[in-house]
């Protein structure tokens, strides 16, 4: 027995040593943890924070987009995301209802009836449990589900199918200025899902619209419940700002409907339309084809590009508006001066031809504008000089982006290297512009020489209603005088009203319309100008009413499917959009039609050739027209307007007799009527002021001939009333309170 004791002692000593080492290691470990606060390289405080500290996101709402009248264009709505839980561990033992997918085949078959995904693709996702997936989602097909769809799926009682509530961006008007407004979709940034603008104004104004998420942080127990007396740290969310655009929902609807009609009837390759406030440059409507539905993205793959903003093209004869304005401003445009149409020679290059190739013989420059003569504007450039003309192109800011605030805005190119290009630019060939540049330049015509920046944002307000950004309205240049602008408007009205002019199709009952047509070839790099009748860009830029323009409408239709191979055929689809949109918009804005136009019967001018003056006067009086007899002869030598021209009740008709001409009293005549007088007699005129004639250089009843020159003074009736008031005997500080 004694022999075993040494062995027992040794074993006891060994055990004591082992336990001492373990105790020492445990004690050491305890003190190390106490001193360093770490275990296995992990900070225990962080571990505890991660396990028991909870953070919940407080979602910041994306700002809405409204039209100028507060009609919603882009808003936030609630949507649901479909999720399938695959892991069997989520289902408690002996549970009556499983919490995970137990029958993938049946589940896939039933879900295929409610989401846009093939049954086999759904099944493939539901079978990922074998690869260790806890849960799966269904991409875009399973997102943005409506409450109604969610309810229908829930009625199926499919095990493992759950829904997660999320915010969806909604566009209540569907296809509606889609490329302009753009769209926002859910993206993940910094591990947080939020709506981010992808294109259009949603992207351009994202910094204003984007909401910033907040959060709440608190301590919880092992079951996730907040600990008693635990302090919660709250970072409040910031909602995005609300944007009010210059768009008008009614006018935009007019434009969308008209473009839909033309798109269906003529199937053009491209089409665009813009409606702008003629005084401020505010964009009231903008659309294009092809387009897409921002809610479903259907059609977006056909064209992501906002062609109104991002495309530059040769404008065709709409460019003649600004060539004419430059020529008038420089004093080189005489409406009665004649030239030989058909061909214009350019040194070292092929001649410039009119669109009908042969021209119309010797005609006046006014007729040249009305007939859209390339040769006429080429002569005007020659008169003012190509360098002077280039200066006006710069003043109208062609070749520069308008900086409307949208991405990838094109600037266009003014080609001025070759001599022929300098002249070709005057009628819209060789150089390229954008639709926005044309609208911007036209505001100088409609706004008495003051060119306005086209803009889209009326105001932006924060969540408390404070304005964080005001209107973008601003004047950018004054390329021409008010007097020039008025004369251009008067002439552009004749482009629409005169028989045989290119704009006859754009007349609108009840309103005076001015404008200019455009027909341009399409140039493709490496190919050159496309051939074939359908390979053209047809357009029109116009305004109304002429006396006090309120709206500018620009319409472009590229490569429509035309049945008739005639020059005028291309204006049909363009006029279908322009006439409808302009008339409905003017009526909607309560812009009163011209009373004379509304009450008048439209008559065709009779042919008075060979008639006596007496019979002609009686005939015109019977038609409720106003004859103006020039001369004391008994027979009609010429008359104006030409036979067949559509005339309105009360309109003046000039009759030139075979006797001695005498000067009529022009007091109260409009500039348009004076131009008629000038056209029929050949007397050159110059004028000063705006409005109606108050003075003339040639005395009434004085003998005149085509060698005379006539100077007239014009005055607006409102200005006359103001002058009368200011010169009255009333004290200068007396007021009637109005």
- 37 vs 443, higher pLDDT: 443
| Number of continuous H segments (helices) and E segments (strands) in the chain | 22, 35
Task: Give the number of domains in the chain.
Answer: 4
Domain boundary among 547, 582, 597: 597
- 596 vs 682, higher pLDDT: 682
Identify the bridge partners of residue 344 per DSSP, sorted by sequence position.
Answer: 352
Task: For Cα atoms 507, 502, 479, give the angle at the middle one, nearest 5 degrees.
Answer: 90
- 234 vs 465, higher pLDDT: 465
Q: Are residues 458 and 564 in the same domain?
A: yes
The whole-number pLDDT of residue 727 equals: 45
Q: Name the band, by pLDDT with cuts 50, 70 and 90, for residue 45.
A: low
Q: Name the band, by pLDDT with cuts 50, 70 and 90, for residue 39.
A: low
Average pLDDT over residues 285-314: 94
Q: For residues 578 and 556, what is the distance between their CA atoms, to the nearest angstrom?
A: 10
**Is residue 437 within 8 Å of residue 395, measured between CB atoms?**
no
The whole-number pLDDT of residue 708 equals: 86
Strands 709-715 and 684-688: parallel
Secondary structure element (H or E) that encloses residue 387, with its range: helix 386-395
Q: For residues 513 and 491, what is the distance between their CA atoms, to the nearest angstrom?
A: 11
341-348 contacts: CB < 8 A, separation 24 or more?
A: 341/368, 341/371, 341/373, 341/375, 341/376, 342/375, 343/375, 344/374, 344/375, 344/378, 344/379, 344/423, 346/419, 346/420, 346/423, 347/419, 348/419
Q: For residues 521 and 429, what is the distance between their CA atoms, to the nearest angstrom?
A: 8
Average pLDDT over residues 628-638: 89
Q: What is the DSSP annotation of 639-667?
A: EESPTT-EE-TT-EEEEEESS--B----T
Q: Are residues 669 and 591 in the same domain?
A: no
Q: 């003629």: which residue's tokens?
A: 278
Q: Are residues 535 and 611 in the same domain?
A: no
Lowest mean pLDDT among 233-242, 509-518, 687-696: 687-696
The whole-number pLDDT of residue 393 equals: 97
Q: Are residues 31 and 153 in the same domain?
A: no
Average pLDDT over residues 378-383: 97
Which of 279, 224, 230 lies closest to 451 in space, CA to CA? 279
The whole-number pLDDT of residue 595 equals: 56
The whole-number pLDDT of residue 209 equals: 94
234-266 as b/e: b if 16+ CB within 10 A: eeeebbbbbbbbbbbbbbbbbbbebbeebbeeb
**Is residue 687 within 8 Å of residue 664, measured between CB atoms?**
no
Which of 333, 349, 544 lies closest to 429 in space, CA to CA? 349
3-state secondary structure of 132: coil
Average pLDDT over residues 590-607: 68
641 upstream amide cis, omega within 30 of 0:
yes
Q: For residues 625 and 508, what is the distance between their CA atoms, to the nearest angstrom?
A: 20
Q: Are residues 301 and 348 in the same domain?
A: yes
Domain boundary among 183, 198, 221: 183
In this model, does residue 220 exceed pLDDT 80? no
Count of CB atoms within 10 A of residue 626's CB? Answer: 14
**Is residue 282 within 8 Å of residue 276, measured between CB atoms?**
yes
The whole-number pLDDT of residue 406 equals: 95
Q: Are residues 27 and 93 in the same domain?
A: no
Could you tell me the two tokens for 712? 């007239």
Q: Are residues 138 and 168 in the same domain?
A: yes
Could you tell me the two tokens for 147? 């409450």
3-state secondary structure of 440: helix
Contacts of 522 (CB under 8 A, 6+ apart): 313, 314, 529, 530, 535, 536, 537, 558, 559
Q: Are residues 606 and 593 in the same domain?
A: no
In this model, does residue 111 exceed pLDDT 60? yes
- 214 part of a folded domain: no
Task: For Cα atoms 390, 394, 397, give the angle at the middle one, nearest 5 degrees.
Answer: 145
Lowest mean pLDDT among 154-163, 198-207, 232-241, 599-608: 599-608
Contacts of 396 (CB under 8 A, 6+ apart): 322, 437, 440, 441, 444, 451, 477, 479
The whole-number pLDDT of residue 144 equals: 82
Q: For residues 112 and 118, what is the distance between their CA atoms, to the nearest angstrom?
A: 6
- 227 part of a folded domain: no
Q: What is the CATH number of the domain that holds 617?
A: 3.30.10.20
- 165 vs 72, higher pLDDT: 72
The whole-number pLDDT of residue 720 equals: 47
pLDDT tens digits, 167-181: 888 899 999 999 999
Q: For residues 581 and 660, what is the distance between their CA atoms, to the nearest angstrom?
A: 49
pLDDT tens digits, 142-171: 888 888 899 999 999 999 999 988 888 889
Catalytic residues: 317
Average pLDDT over residues 177-200: 84
In this model, does residue 582 exceed pLDDT 50? yes
pLDDT tens digits, 8-18: 777 777 777 78
List, in sequence order, every beta strand (DSSP E) within 300-454: 338-340, 343-344, 352-353, 362-364, 451-452
Percent pLDDT > 90 in the chain is 53
Q: For residues 559 and 5, what is the distance between their CA atoms, to the nearest angstrom?
A: 113
- 738 part of a folded domain: no
* Phi, psi torsion values for 136, nearest 5 degrees: -135, 155
Q: Are residues 86 and 136 in the same domain?
A: yes
User: DSSP state, 133?
Assistant: -
Q: 């009248």: which residue's tokens?
A: 69
Mean pLDDT of the chain, nearest integer: 86
Q: Domain limits at 696?
A: 601-723
Q: For residues 467 and 240, what is the distance between their CA atoms, to the nearest angstrom?
A: 13
User: DSSP state, 4?
Assistant: T
Count of CB atoms within 10 A of residue 351's CB? Answer: 12
Out of 164-173, 402-411, 698-707, the most confident range is 402-411
Q: Name the band, by pLDDT with cuts 50, 70 and 90, for residue 733.
A: very low
pTM for this entry: 0.73
The whole-number pLDDT of residue 194 equals: 80
Which of 96, 93, 115, 116 lies closest to 157 in space, CA to CA? 96
Q: What is the CATH number of the domain that holds 346?
A: 3.40.710.10
Average pLDDT over residues 367-390: 97
Rounded to the nearest 10 degrees, the angle between the axes of helix 249-266 and helix 571-588 is 160
Average pLDDT over residues 643-653: 77
- 671 part of a folded domain: yes
Q: For residues 465 and 153, what is the distance between their CA atoms, to the nearest angstrom?
A: 40
Q: Are residues 570 and 610 in the same domain?
A: no
In this model, does residue 396 exceed pLDDT 50? yes
pLDDT tens digits, 311-339: 999 999 999 999 999 999 999 999 999 99
Task: For Cα atoms 555, 561, 564, give the angle at the middle one, nearest 5 degrees.
Answer: 100
Q: Are residues 29 and 106 in the same domain?
A: no
In this model, does residue 738 exceed pLDDT 70? no
Lowest mean pLDDT among 472-476, 562-566, 581-585, 676-680: 562-566
Lowest mean pLDDT among 266-270, 456-460, 519-523: 519-523
Q: Are residues 304 and 425 in the same domain?
A: yes
Rounded to the nearest 10 degrees, the angle between the axes of helix 119-126 and helix 104-111 is 140
CA dihedral 350, 355, 360, 361 (to 10 degrees): -10
**Is residue 425 within 8 Å of residue 414, measured between CB atoms?**
yes
Domain boundary among 544, 567, 597: 597
- 230 part of a folded domain: no
The whole-number pLDDT of residue 394 equals: 97
pLDDT tens digits, 465-491: 899 999 999 999 999 999 999 999 999
**Is residue 197 within 8 Å of residue 204, measured between CB atoms?**
yes
- 735 part of a folded domain: no
pLDDT tens digits, 523-557: 888 888 887 777 899 999 999 999 999 999 999 99
- 193 part of a folded domain: no
The whole-number pLDDT of residue 718 equals: 44
The whole-number pLDDT of residue 628 equals: 92
In this model, does residue 618 exceed pLDDT 80? yes
- 508 part of a folded domain: yes
Q: Name the band, by pLDDT with cuts 50, 70 and 90, for residue 730.
A: very low
Lowest mean pLDDT among 236-250, 332-346, 507-521, 673-687: 673-687
Identify the bridge partners of residue 650 per DSSP, sorted by sequence position.
Answer: none
User: DSSP state, 202?
Assistant: H
In this model, does residue 706 exceed pLDDT 80? yes
The whole-number pLDDT of residue 32 equals: 63
Q: Name the band, by pLDDT with cuts 50, 70 and 90, for residue 642.
A: confident
Strands 343-344 and 352-353: antiparallel
């Amino acid at each position: 027995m004694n022999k075993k004791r040494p062995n027992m002692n040794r074993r006891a000593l060994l055990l004591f040593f082992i336990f001492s080492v373990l105790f020492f290691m445990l004690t050491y470990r305890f003190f190390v943890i106490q001193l360093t606060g770490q275990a296995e390289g992990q900070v225990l405080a962080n571990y505890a924070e991660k396990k028991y500290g909870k953070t919940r996101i407080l979602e910041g709402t994306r700002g809405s987009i409204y039209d100028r009248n507060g009609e919603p264009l882009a808003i936030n709505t609630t949507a649901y995301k479909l999720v399938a839980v695959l892991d069997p561990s989520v289902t408690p033992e002996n549970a009556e209802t499983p919490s995970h997918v137990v029958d993938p085949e049946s589940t896939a078959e039933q879900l295929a009836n409610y989401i846009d995904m093939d049954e086999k693709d759904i099944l493939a996702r539901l079978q990922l449990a074998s690869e260790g997936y806890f849960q799966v989602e269904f991409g875009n097909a399973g997102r943005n589900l409506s409450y109604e769809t969610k309810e229908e799926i829930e009625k199926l009682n499919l095990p493992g199918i759950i829904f997660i509530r999320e915010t969806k961006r909604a566009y209540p008007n569907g296809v509606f200025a889609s490329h302009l407004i753009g769209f926002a979709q859910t993206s993940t940034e910094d591990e947080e899902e939020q709506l981010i603008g992808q294109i259009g104004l949603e992207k351009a104004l994202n910094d204003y619209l984007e909401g910033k998420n907040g959060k709440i942080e608190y301590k919880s127990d092992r079951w996730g419940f907040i600990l008693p007396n635990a302090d919660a740290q709250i970072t409040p969310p910031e909602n995005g700002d609300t944007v009010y655009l210059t768009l008008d929902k009614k006018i935009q609807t007019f434009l969308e409907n008209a473009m839909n009609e033309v798109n269906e009837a003529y199937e053009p390759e491209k089409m665009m339309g813009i409606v702008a406030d003629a005084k401020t440059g505010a964009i009231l409507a903008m659309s294009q084809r092809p387009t897409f539905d921002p809610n479903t993205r259907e059609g977006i793959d056909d064209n992501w590009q906002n062609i109104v903003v991002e495309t530059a093209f040769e404008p065709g004869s709409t460019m003649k508006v600004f060539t004419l304005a430059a020529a008038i401003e420089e004093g080189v445009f005489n409406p009665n001066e004649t030239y030989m149409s058909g061909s214009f020679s350019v040194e070292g290059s092929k001649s410039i031809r009119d669109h009908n190739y042969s021209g119309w013989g010797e005609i006046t420059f006014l007729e040249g504008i009305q007939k859209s003569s390339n040769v006429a504007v080429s002569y005007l450039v020659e008169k003012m000089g190509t360098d002077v003309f280039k200066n006006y192109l710069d003043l109208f800011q062609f070749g520069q982006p308008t900086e409307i605030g949208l991405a990838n805005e094109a600037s266009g190119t003014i080609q001025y290297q070759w001599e022929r290009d300098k002249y070709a630019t005057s009628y819209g060939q060789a150089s390229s512009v954008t639709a926005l540049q044309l609208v911007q330049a036209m505001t100088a015509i409609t706004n008495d020489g003051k060119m306005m920046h086209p803009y889209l944002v009326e105001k932006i307000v924060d969540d408390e209603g404070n304005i964080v950004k005001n209107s973008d309205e601003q004047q950018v240049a004054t390329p021409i005088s008010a007097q020039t602008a008025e004369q251009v408007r008067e002439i552009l009205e004749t482009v629409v009203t005169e028989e045989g002019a290119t704009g006859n199709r754009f007349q609108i009952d009840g309103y005076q319309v001015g404008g200019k047509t455009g027909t341009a070839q399409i140039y493709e790099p490496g190919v050159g100008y496309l051939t074939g009748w359908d390979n053209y860009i047809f357009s029109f830029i116009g305004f109304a009413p002429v006396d006090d323009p309120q709206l500018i409408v620009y319409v472009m239709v590229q490569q429509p499917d035309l049945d008739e191979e005639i020059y005028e055929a291309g204006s049909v689809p363009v006029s279908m959009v322009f006439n409808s949109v302009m008339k409905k918009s003017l009526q909607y804005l309560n812009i009163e039609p011209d009373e004379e136009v509304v009450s008048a019967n439209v008559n065709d001018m009779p042919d008075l050739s060979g008639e006596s003056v007496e019979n002609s006067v009686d005939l015109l009086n019977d038609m409720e027209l106003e004859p103006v007899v020039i001369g004391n002869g008994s027979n009609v030598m010429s008359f104006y307007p030409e036979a067949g021209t559509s005339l309105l009740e009360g309109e003046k008709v000039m009759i030139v007799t075979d006797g001695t001409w005498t000067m009529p009293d022009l007091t109260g005549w409009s500039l348009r009527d004076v131009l008629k007088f000038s056209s029929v007699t050949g007397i050159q005129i110059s004028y000063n002021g705006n409005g109606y004639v108050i003075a003339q250089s040639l005395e009434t009843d004085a003998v005149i001939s085509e060698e005379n020159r006539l100077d007239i003074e014009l005055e607006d009736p409102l200005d006359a009333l103001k002058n009368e008031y200011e010169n009255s005997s009333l004290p200068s500080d007396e007021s009637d309170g109005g």
